[in-house]
Amino acid sequence: MGFGTVENRSRVDSKQGNMQKLRIAVIGLGSDWQHRYLPALRSLRDRFGVVGVYHSVSALAAAAARELDSVGYDSFRSLISNPSVEAILMLEDDWYQLQPLWVACEAQKGIFCGSEVDIQGMSSSGLQEAISSSGIPFMSGFSRRYAPATLRFKELIATRLGRPRLLFCHRRLPSEPPDPANSVSLEKQTNRELLELIDWCTYIVDEEPDWVQAIRHLSRPSPTNADYQILSLGFGDPETDPNAILAQISCGAYIPSVWAEAIAFRPPAAVQVCCEKGLVFIDLPSTLVWFDDAGRHQETLDTELPIGQQMLIQFHRAVASKVSLVSDLQETNEAIRILEKAKLSTQTHQRVSLRDGIL
């Protein structure tokens, strides 16, 4: 499923050789604003022009807008409906939830969704179908696939290490206090992490998985939520097919946030991958250590573009060319579908096929 067509003025002028700016609206800021998106937009002033910024706290919107020579808006509807806006960067959801995405869809504006937008709600609300039918560009901010270490690893798979066989991917989060108001946000954060890890593993393998099997460990402070979740993602049957690939994905939120030192103690590699001809350990965003018959190799890719710039460049290119380049709606939908099947697996205590149903 591609990005489809959308009328916009953001394209390379082949006669003048100039990159025309993509006029965007920023909806929400989120925890990634200061360290990822604001620096990226500053560095990419030749590609992006910020028409306005909306935040539920007007003072924050005004402050962010001043940093980009833009203006703050009191209404996301009026900002998105501004005729000069060609696409939106929705970086978090708030009281408005997914409403800005509906407005952008109706107004035929391209959409970039940051990591703090609960995109899982798109399926049940019918938003996925609406975006697909409208043909507007859509991109999820699955940041791991844009990390310099990930891109380098993909090169090594093609040139030195061969096809992946086993993947071990773990994410450690701090647990929140036993407060019902916070427990929902922890579950939401855990699901988002699992969603990104699923996307990351399928991106590395570059194949469609066949089945998933998952287990949850319930949290003592909040029995309705889990403090640890693990799922196995199968590409073929590992019990009968020696060429099958198995990815083990887990996310734990069992360490109290007050134990900050424990959370950071001996962190696991973001992903460990056993390939046909070697073994790789990746530490995001830019370090990887790999082993083959020649021994140990360590690469630090600090000179590569930061993740924020990588993602926004891809989004600009997608809107300008009207072609799906990397993370489009279809891939986002697939990651959401796999996570939903994983939840079914925890309920049935069985391996669940991603093609037909329970195996």
205 with 69, same domain: the answer is: no
238 with 347, same domain: the answer is: yes
Q: Indicate the range of 118-132, 196-210, 259-273, 323-337 predicted with least confidence.
A: 323-337
Q: What is the pLDDT of residue 256?
A: 84
In a domain, 294, yes or no: no
- How are beta strands 110-116 and 87-92 bridged, if at all? parallel
Q: What is the pLDDT of residue 4?
A: 34
78 with 169, same domain: the answer is: no
In a domain, 2, yes or no: no
| CATH at 204 | 3.30.360.10
205 with 88, same domain: the answer is: no
Is 295 a residue whose pLDDT tops 70?
yes
128 with 239, same domain: the answer is: no
Q: What is the pLDDT of residue 343?
A: 93
The pLDDT tens digits of the residues spanning 155-204 come to 999 999 999 999 999 998 887 655 554 455 777 888 899 999 999 999 99
195 with 319, same domain: the answer is: no
More confident residue, 329 or 220: 329
Q: What is the pLDDT of residue 12?
A: 36
Q: What is the pLDDT of residue 124?
A: 64
Q: Would you say how long the chain is, in residues?
A: 359
The pLDDT tens digits of the residues spanning 61-112 come to 999 999 999 999 999 999 999 999 999 999 998 899 999 999 999 999 999 9
179 with 205, same domain: the answer is: yes
131 with 171, same domain: the answer is: no
In a domain, 101, yes or no: yes
Nearest to 280 by CA among 293, 289, 270, 267: 289
343 with 228, same domain: the answer is: yes
In a domain, 218, yes or no: yes
199 with 87, same domain: the answer is: no
Q: What is the pLDDT of residue 303?
A: 82
Task: Give the pLDDT mean for 46-51.
Answer: 96
Predicted model pTM: 0.87
Average pLDDT, the chain: 87
In a domain, 74, yes or no: yes
Task: Give the pLDDT mean for 194-217.
Answer: 95
How many domains does the structure of the chain reveal?
2
67 with 180, same domain: the answer is: no
pLDDT band at 13 (very low <50, low <70, confident <90, very high): very low
Is 1 a residue whose pLDDT tops 60?
no
| CATH at 33 | 3.40.50.720
DSSP-assigned letters across all residues of 291-303: EETTEEEEEE-TT
Tokens of 128: 């996925």
In a domain, 122, yes or no: yes
Tokens of 326: 């990397």
In a domain, 293, yes or no: no
Residue range of the domain that includes 108: 12-143+309-327
Q: What is the pLDDT of residue 273?
A: 98
Q: Quick check: 307 and 143 in contact, CB under 8 A?
A: yes
Nearest to 337 by CA among 128, 141, 171, 183: 128
79 with 176, same domain: the answer is: no
The pLDDT tens digits of the residues spanning 296-310 come to 999 999 888 999 999
Task: Give the pLDDT mean for 259-284.
Answer: 92
Residues 6+ apart with CB under 8 A from 152: 288, 299, 301
In a domain, 91, yes or no: yes
Q: What whole-number distance in Å separates Cα of residue 139 and Cα of residue 137?
A: 7
